[in-house]
């Protein structure tokens, strides 16, 4: 049996097993990857492959040499050995009728009733669903108490009161060896919420090693891997699901090159996976490759027109590119599909922000957060809107809520730095800029923000500013701010040679990009004076001549410099 057929059979079984245990998010993920495996045209009619047609052009467009090598062969290092299916429980037949009733209650979100129905059942499936129902009942009550105490967006120390009893029961079952992989997943989830991260990692590794198709368990495990060292220390079995996990973990750790290599390798088997395409777009978005990201999302929408997952990122790209009509169309589209999804509210918020209607934008970001209080990007984007509205206390609160959710979110730390800079508190601003640049050292904007903080009157640490601008210049500074500022600072410190070097580099880039403006005039003026002082009159004359094309004081200055250059040339080399 081929590799693709093995994966297909495993995923088909997983979809049924996960759905049977009410793990619908993991079941949906597995079903999407199942359809993402290319069908054999000889075996299936065109109607079976219709869903897959759309993504093929993305693959062709962004195919790399590495990826092409994996088109017909499995990715290197990926094991396709079939893991045994979940064994049926001895008590399954006895529990079955009660289980069906409990599952019906669960599907109707009557979690307490589901728990009660299974109170005397001892089968592994029944125990898992009973504990899982109790966990979700506790989560719902926690949300209700938070709203009662603090309002829908308030902070609160309310906890899930069911965690202690669930932990006690699952811990005992694990010790006597009768727990299954799903019970281990839930046990890991409970331990994570209680702050026992090390034990939670151990338990979740046990879960994914015994049943690797539960994507929810992999996702929880990833959230506990905050460093590359922690990730490398995991003792994971060599299964193809491990590569999905590593690709996702690398992305969250901002190891985007490694993540892209993994996803491209996985595309050898999962050629039409929309999930993989969306993850590739995320990695390219982090690298600010907006053109490629836009093409991928357009193709994803053509293939899956009612998709809302990840579309908030697409809206961020359209916002950055100021594509009014495309963002308007996307906002209208998600509004008609499901206007009460957090992502939909976020997209509409971006649309109003681009129109300059910041109050309305905040309203939609708040709506997104009422639907999902842990929706990270909504907190960060709402902070940006408050900055635009000059409401810095509200901006600081929004950014702090974002870093409470994810301390590795460099955008929120950067936002805090901006807010404190606006309040005239550069020492605080510098602290937050340092945190953001530590998390994302390849972003030139963060280095520039930190350099500008060093330049303020209160700090005036110009040498440190120069170091930051140098780092920015080495990080693909697309706004071309760093080189110009390096030249100005060196000139201010009397280092004419270094200033001339950076002005010349800046001038070359501006000429290549055909940019005009005051920076160009400033560079020409400095270089003309510098070369005149160095007695390199021919070079000075070239820059002065270029300044004559401008109208204004620089033209008169250039004429004066030219007269001086010619006088000195005559003095040094008098005519015979």
Q: What is the 3-state secondary structure (H, E, C) of 319-373?
A: HHCCCHHHHHHHHHHHHHHHCCCHHHHHHHHHHHHHCCCHHHHHHHHHHHHHHCC
CA dihedral 253, 256, 261, 262 (to 10 degrees): 30
Contact, 220 vs 249, CB < 8 A? no
Q: With the C-alpha atoms ordered 562, 567, 572, 573, is the resulting torsion angle positive or negative?
A: positive
Return the SS3 of 72: coil
Contact, 269 vs 7, CB < 8 A? yes
Name the stretches of the chain with pLDDT < 70.
Answer: 1, 40-95, 151-156, 570-576
Which residues lie closer than 8 Å to 526 by C-beta, 6 or more apart? Answer: 487, 491, 499, 500, 503
Query: How far is the C-alpha of 411 from the C-alpha of 415, rounded, in Å?
Result: 6
Residue 314's Cβ-side half-sphere holds a number of Cα atoms within 13 Å equal to 27
Crossing angle between the packed helical segments 290-303 and 311-320, to the nearest 10 degrees: 140
What's the pLDDT at 154?
A: 66
User: Tell me, what DSSP letter sits at residue 107?
Assistant: H
Query: How far is the C-alpha of 281 from the C-alpha of 311, rounded, in Å?
Result: 11
Query: How far is the C-alpha of 308 from the C-alpha of 318, rounded, in Å?
Result: 15
Residue with tokens 């920015």: 472
Q: Rounded to the nearest 5 degrees, what angle is found at the Cα of 316, between the Cα atoms of 396 and 514? A: 105
Query: How far is the C-alpha of 144 from the C-alpha of 138, rounded, in Å?
Result: 10
Which residues lie closer than 8 Å to 62 by C-beta, 6 or more apart? Answer: 280, 292, 296
Query: How far is the C-alpha of 429 from the C-alpha of 435, rounded, in Å?
Result: 10
What phi-psi label fits residue 36: left (phi over 0), alpha (psi between -120 and 50 degrees) or beta? Answer: alpha
Contact, 364 vs 348, CB < 8 A? yes
Return the SS3 of 289: coil
> Distance from CA of residue 479 to its chain's centroid?
22
Q: How far is CA 539 from CA 11, 94, 514, 530, 556, in A?
A: 70, 94, 21, 10, 19
């Amino acid at each position: 049996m081929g590799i693709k057929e093995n994966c297909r059979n495993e995923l088909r079984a997983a979809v049924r097993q996960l759905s049977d245990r009410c793990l619908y998010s993991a079941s949906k993920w597995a079903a999407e990857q199942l359809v993402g495996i290319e069908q054999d045209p000889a075996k299936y009619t065109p109607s079976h492959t219709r869903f897959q047609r759309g993504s093929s052009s993305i693959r062709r467009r962004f195919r790399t040499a590495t990826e092409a090598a994996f088109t017909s062969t499995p990715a290197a290092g990926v094991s396709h050995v079939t893991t045994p299916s979940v064994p049926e429980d001895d008590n399954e037949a006895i529990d079955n009728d009660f289980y069906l009733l409990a599952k019906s209650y669960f599907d109707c979100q009557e979690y307490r009733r589901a728990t009660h129905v299974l109170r005397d059942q001892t089968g592994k499936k029944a125990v898992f669903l009973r504990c899982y129902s109790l966990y979700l009942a506790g989560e719902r009550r926690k949300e209700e108490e938070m709203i009662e105490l603090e309002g829908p967006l308030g902070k609160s120390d309310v906890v899930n009161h069911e965690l202690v009893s669930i932990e006690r029961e699952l811990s005992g079952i694990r010790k006597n060896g009768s727990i299954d992989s799903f019970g281990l997943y839930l046990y890991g989830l409970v331990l994570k919420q209680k702050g026992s991260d090390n034990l939670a990692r151990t338990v979740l590794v046990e879960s994914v090693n015994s049943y690797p198709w539960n994507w929810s368990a992999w996702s929880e495990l990833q959230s506990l891997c905050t460093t590359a060292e922690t990730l490398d220390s995991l003792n994971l079995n060599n299964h193809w699901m491990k590569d999905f996990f590593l690709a996702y973990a690398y992305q969250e750790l901002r190891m985007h090159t490694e993540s892209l290599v993994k996803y491209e390798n996985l595309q050898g088997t999962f050629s039409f996976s929309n999930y993989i395409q969306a993850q590739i777009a995320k990695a390219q978005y982090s690298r600010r490759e907006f053109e490629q990201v836009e093409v991928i999302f357009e193709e994803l929408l053509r293939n899956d027109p009612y998709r809302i997952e990840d579309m908030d990122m697409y809206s961020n790209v359209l916002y950055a590119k100021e594509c009014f009509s495309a963002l308007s169309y996307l906002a209208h589209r998600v509004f008609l599909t499901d206007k009460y999804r957090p992502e939909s509210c976020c997209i509409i918020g971006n649309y109003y922000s681009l129109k300059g209607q910041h109050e309305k934008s905040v309203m939609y970001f708040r709506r997104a957060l009422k639907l999902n209080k842990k929706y990270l990007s909504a907190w960060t984007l709402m902070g940006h809107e408050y900055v635009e509205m000059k409401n810095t206390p509200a901006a600081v609160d929004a950014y702090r809520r974002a870093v409470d959710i994810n301390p590795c979110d460099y955008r929120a730390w950067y936002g805090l730095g901006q807010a404190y800079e606006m309040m005239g508190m550069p020492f605080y601003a510098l602290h937050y800029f340092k945190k953001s640049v530590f998390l994302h050292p390849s972003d030139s904007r963060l280095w520039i923000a930190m350099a500008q903080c060093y330049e303020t009157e209160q700090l005036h640490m110009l040498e440190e500013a120069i170091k930051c601008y140098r780092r920015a210049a080495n990080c693909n500074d697309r706004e071309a701010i760093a080189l110009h500022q390096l030249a100005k600072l060196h000139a201010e410190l009397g280092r004419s040679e270094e200033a001339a070097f950076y002005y010349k580099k800046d001038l070359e880039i501006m000429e290549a990009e055909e940019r005009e403006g005051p920076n160009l005039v400033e560079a020409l003026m400095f270089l003309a004076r510098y070369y005149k002082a160095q007695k390199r009159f021919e070079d000075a004359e070239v820059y002065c001549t270029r300044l004559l094309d401008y109208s204004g004081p620089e033209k008169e200055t250039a004429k004066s410099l030219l007269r001086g250059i010619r006088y000195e040339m005559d003095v040094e080399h008098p005519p015979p």
